[in-house]
Amino acid sequence: MLKAKQRGGRGFAVSLAIMVENQGDRNSQPAACPLCGLPRAHRIFTRTAYGHVWHLARCSSCGLHFTDPVPTEAEVRSFYQGDYHSELQNPAFMDQAFAPKYRRYLSIVRPHLKPNAATLDVGCATGLFPKMLKNAGYRAEGIELNSSSAAWGRENYRVPIHQGTLDDLLLSSRKFDLISMTDVLEHTLSPPAEVRKVHGLLSERGLFLVTFPDILSPSSRYLRVLSRAIGREWAWTTCHIPQHTWEFSYRTALRLFTQGGFELVAFRRSQAFSFEPSKVGILSLPANLPALPGVNRYVGNQMEFLLRQVV
């Protein structure tokens, strides 16, 4: 763990200091950007959730979007308590809702991953992706904070699922050839810290698969304008504050990965459903146009990065 913290250097210290400074401050503008450290962030959007007012702040220097004030660790945990994962404890639902994108993730990593490689899926929920990795011939494991989901996955998918966080694994001497964080990194309290933990858990030149939404995708930009036009904050459905502590673009994601010791191996886009037509009728249609075949790989609202550790 000490090694992982040392690798973070000044960037990690700045991010942590800003996080502590901003916690609980819901009236003033953010002190500085948690990615570049410059005092050029300002609030551009407001949402009420979990009994508090939250803001989406944007750095005019590096372009990072992030939740302001930064949620506390207790608040982040509270977002996912109770029956948050209950619907995932259903194999039929999981196969229909998640198996297609997990097969796509497998197609990304397979050309770059040696047979029988050791893999770890972080925030694996009930463990479908580790199960599919295992079926593909890899030594697959998962780690999940929700104890109920971890237990269900161990029993039903028959894959090793640790209950806890990456900090628990950093205390061991474990190394992995592939670590995946699919729609997870943006939920963490400090993405720079998590990226550096992954770096410390990978074998030499190991792979890191990361996916999350693009806050600047055409779908997201349209829904922001729609939200403002109809005066309904909920209409910006591709903005997920405060659950997403950071909202990434391609540029800010690459900056984070480069600072964390990774280089880009492969990148592609896909389109997640952006809006239920029943909400605002025909006004929702432009948000889902990027889902058209042949279009989603270029302008889709989901980004999928395969990275390699730089030693």
The pLDDT assigned to 4 comes to: 33
* Cα–chain center distance at 195: 11
Quote the pLDDT of residue 25.
55
pLDDT of amino acid 67? 97
Of 15, 49, 55, 72, residue with least CA distance to 191: 15
Which strands, in side-by-side order, build the sheet including 65-68?
41-49, 52-59, 65-68, 246-247
Which residues 6+ apart lie within 8 Å of 27 measured at CB?
A: none
pLDDT of residue 19: 43
Three-class SS of residue 35?
Answer: coil
Q: pTM here?
A: 0.87
**Could you give the CA distance from residue 263 to residue 267 in angstroms, rounded to a whole number?**
11
The predicted structure's pLDDT at residue 200: 95
Q: What's the pLDDT score for residue 76?
A: 87
Beta strand pairing status for 41-49 and 52-59?
antiparallel
Encode 198-215: b = buried (16+ Cβ within 10 Å), e = exposed. bbbbbeeebbbbbbbbbb
Among residues 203, 208, 134, 195, the alpha carbon closest in space to that of 174 is found at 203
Inter-CA distances, 17 with 33, 46, 71, 75, 240, Å: 11, 24, 14, 18, 24
SS3 at position 175: coil
Q: Which of 154, 159, 198, 161 is nearest to 176 (CA)?
A: 198
Q: Identity (one letter) of the amino acid at 212?
A: F
Handedness of CA 23, 28, 30, 32 (dihedral sign): negative
Residue 25's closest CA among 58, 53, 60, 65? 53
Specify the pLDDT at position 279: 63
The pLDDT assigned to 156 comes to 93
Mean pLDDT of each 10-residue bin along the chain, 311 residues long:
33 40 58 92 94 95 96 86 72 86 96 97 95 97 91 94 91 92 96 97 97 96 92 91 97 98 96 64 77 81 97 82
Residue with tokens 């960037």: 11
Asked if residues 306 and 267 have their Cβ atoms less than 8 Å apart, the reply is yes
Q: What is the pLDDT at residue 11?
A: 40
Q: What is the pLDDT of residue 82?
A: 63
